[in-house]
């Protein structure tokens, strides 16, 4: 059933004015993550002398800590306020940079150095949870609920932009100045953004309702979260395997598919981020997930890097509004008092998808070839369409 929602009188311009300090916080939080990702393996191998297992531990510590801290970050934001949640995340991120610096003082003692580095990475993972979970919740509370889709789209876009920018800048910094430059930026950048946030109005923490429990929030969030998780398998495919696929096909540049995916996603969110608010989150997610699946299938049959990159761009355009569309449905099913917990749980589904999806697709690639990754991920992504249809039926059943 097609329906159209009347938007409140706030314009997109006024909404983005309200959100830009929060977007800056998210940009900073994920920029320092992006700076370190491509250079950590080089530092651990070349400067500390460890092999791939320890490299994996150091890289994975952040993502494991992010997953484990999602629900805590959401509960903290609901209890103590979303502004406090973001500030806590920024301070923790800065401390992780100080731990990076401390680890460099023990390079001559590699075990001590890598242990401190692991603690810093884990702390950064928790900081990321607080920044993105509390940041989205803060934005949702500052604007009318009819702009929930814009908030999730635009704040999430800051995350993708930061990850895209971080890699190239981090590589250049490491090549010129070493890992110490990454550590210094990680320690200082969150503090600079924190100063800019201090004047932004805080939302009062709302008293928790007696009937609000972890399980009641999960009951509202699990279905949109499941849909977001299956859609994110397509993101896993491009993030983890597109460069390998291009290298196998002798296509250059090998990063073109991921760049095309990211540029299309960011452009779509900035231009069309209002669509979930106007037409309903589930309905927009249903249309856009079909586009995403088509783009992945197009990558599977592509015979040139240009065609494969076009498929990646189509997939990025499709994926762009699936997460915010289903996020609108997750928020709609919960109360304002538990908004942070709901967003923490919803985001945790993506963490699980990324943790499970990459090795699962690697198993597919080992048995059927790298090209098969894209058609298999397209089929998994299509499962999200079933979730969106179910969400479209849920209001009718409840009424």
Q: What is the CATH number of the domain that holds 270?
A: 1.20.1250.20
| Averaged pLDDT for residues 372-383 | 95
| Averaged pLDDT for residues 50-65 | 78
365 part of a folded domain: yes
- Same domain, yes or no: 145 and 281: no
Give the rounded percent of residues in the chain with a pLDDT score beyond 70.
88
Give the rounded percent of residues in the chain with a pLDDT score beyond 90.
32
Question: Which of 51-55, 127-131, 263-267, 361-365 is predicted with the least confidence, judged by mean pLDDT?
Answer: 51-55
- Same domain, yes or no: 136 and 224: no
- Same domain, yes or no: 125 and 233: no
Predicted local confidence at residue 112, as pLDDT:
95
Q: Which residue's entry shows tokens 């159209």? A: 4
Predicted local confidence at residue 284, as pLDDT:
93
- 10 Å Cβ neighbour count for 278? 16
- Of 200, 227, 243, the one marking the end of a domain is 200
Q: Summarize pLDDT for 296-351 with one digit per residue, the tens.
A: 999 999 999 999 999 999 999 999 999 888 988 887 767 666 777 787 788 888 87
- Same domain, yes or no: 332 and 195: no
260 part of a folded domain: yes
- Of 175, 200, 225, the one marking the end of a domain is 200
| Averaged pLDDT for residues 353-374 | 86
- Same domain, yes or no: 187 and 220: no
14 or 58: which leads in pLDDT: 58
The H-assigned helical ranges of the chain are 12-36, 40-42, 52-80, 82-104, 110-142, 148-177, 179-197, 214-248, 256-272, 275-279, 281-301, 305-319, 322-332, 339-368, 370-398
Predicted local confidence at residue 12, as pLDDT:
52
- 10 Å Cβ neighbour count for 301? 12
32 or 163: which leads in pLDDT: 32
Predicted local confidence at residue 396, as pLDDT:
44
Predicted local confidence at residue 13, as pLDDT:
54
CA dist., res. 149 & res. 329, Å (int): 9
DSSP 73-122: HHHHHHHH-HHHHHHHHHHHHHHHHHHHHHHHTTTTSHHHHHHHHHHHHH
Predicted local confidence at residue 168, as pLDDT:
78
Predicted local confidence at residue 372, as pLDDT:
93
294 within 8 A of 318, measured Cβ to Cβ: yes
Predicted local confidence at residue 120, as pLDDT:
94
- Same domain, yes or no: 288 and 190: no
Considering the chain, what is the average pLDDT of its residues?
83
323 part of a folded domain: yes
Q: Which residue's entry shows tokens 């709901």? A: 342
Q: What is the model's pTM?
A: 0.74
381 part of a folded domain: yes
394 part of a folded domain: yes
6 part of a folded domain: no
- Same domain, yes or no: 248 and 313: yes
- Of 176, 200, 224, the one marking the end of a domain is 200
Q: Which residue's entry shows tokens 């080089």? A: 42
Predicted local confidence at residue 90, as pLDDT:
93
287 or 358: which leads in pLDDT: 287
For 17, half-sphere exposure in the C-beta direction (CA atoms, 13 angstrom radius) is 5
- Same domain, yes or no: 300 and 329: yes
Question: Which of 38-47, 285-294, 308-317 is predicted with the least confidence, judged by mean pLDDT?
Answer: 38-47
206 part of a folded domain: no
Q: Number of folded domains in the chain?
A: 2
CA dist., res. 113 & res. 177, Å (int): 19
- Same domain, yes or no: 146 and 35: yes
| Averaged pLDDT for residues 370-375 | 92
Kindly tell me the burial class for residue 285, based on how many C-beta atoms sit within 10 Å of its own C-beta (0-12, 13-18, 19 or more).
buried
- Same domain, yes or no: 293 and 189: no
272 part of a folded domain: yes
Query: 151 lies in which domain range?
Result: 12-200
- Same domain, yes or no: 279 and 254: yes
- Same domain, yes or no: 150 and 96: yes
Q: Summarize pLDDT for 1-12 with one digit per residue, the tens.
A: 444 444 444 555
């Amino acid at each position: 059933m097609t329906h159209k929602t009347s938007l409140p009188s706030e314009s997109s311009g006024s909404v983005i004015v309200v959100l830009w300090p929060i977007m800056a916080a998210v940009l900073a939080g994920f920029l320092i993550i992006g700076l370190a990702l491509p250079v950590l393996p080089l530092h651990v191998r070349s400067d500390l002398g460890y092999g791939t297992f320890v490299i994996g531990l150091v890289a994975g510590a952040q993502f494991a800590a992010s997953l484990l801290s999602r629900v805590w970050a959401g509960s903290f934001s609901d209890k103590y306020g979303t502004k406090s949640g973001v500030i806590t995340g920024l301070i923790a991120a800065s401390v992780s940079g100080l731990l990076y610096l401390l680890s460099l003082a023990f390079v001559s003692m590699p075990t001590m150095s890598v242990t401190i580095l692991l603690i810093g990475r884990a702390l950064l993972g928790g900081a990321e949870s607080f920044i993105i979970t509390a940041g989205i919740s803060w934005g949702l509370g500052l604007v009318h609920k009819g702009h929930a889709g814009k908030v999730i789209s635009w704040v999430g876009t800051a995350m993708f932009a930061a990850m895209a920018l971080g890699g190239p800048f981090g590589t250049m910094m490491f090549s010129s100045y070493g890992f110490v430059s990454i550590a210094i930026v990680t320690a200082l950048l969150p503090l600079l953004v924190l100063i800019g946030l201090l004047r932004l109005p805080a939302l009062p923490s709302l008293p928790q309702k007696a009937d609000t429990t972890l399980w009641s929030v999960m009951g509202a969030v699990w279905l949109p979260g499941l849909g977001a998780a299956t859609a994110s398998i397509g993101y896993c495919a491009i993030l983890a395997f597109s460069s390998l696929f291009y290298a196998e096909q002798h296509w250059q540049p090998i990063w073109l598919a991921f760049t095309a995916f990211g540029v299309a996603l960011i452009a779509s969110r900035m231009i069309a981020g209002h669509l979930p608010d106007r037409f309903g989150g589930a309905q927009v997610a249903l249309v856009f997930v079909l586009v995403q699946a088509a783009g992945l299938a197009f990558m599977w049959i592509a015979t040139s890097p240009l065609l494969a990159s076009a498929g990646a761009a189509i997939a990025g355009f499709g994926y762009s509004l699936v997460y915010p569309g289903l996020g609108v449905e997750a928020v709609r099913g919960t109360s304002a008092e538990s908004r942070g917990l709901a967003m923490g749980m919803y985001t945790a589904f993506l963490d699980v998808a990324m943790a499970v999806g990459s090795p699962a697709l690697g198993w597919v690639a080992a048995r059927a070839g790298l090209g098969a990754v894209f058609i298999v991920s397209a089929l998994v992504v299509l499962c999200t369409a079933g979730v969106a249809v179910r969400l479209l039926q849920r209001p009718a059943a409840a009424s």
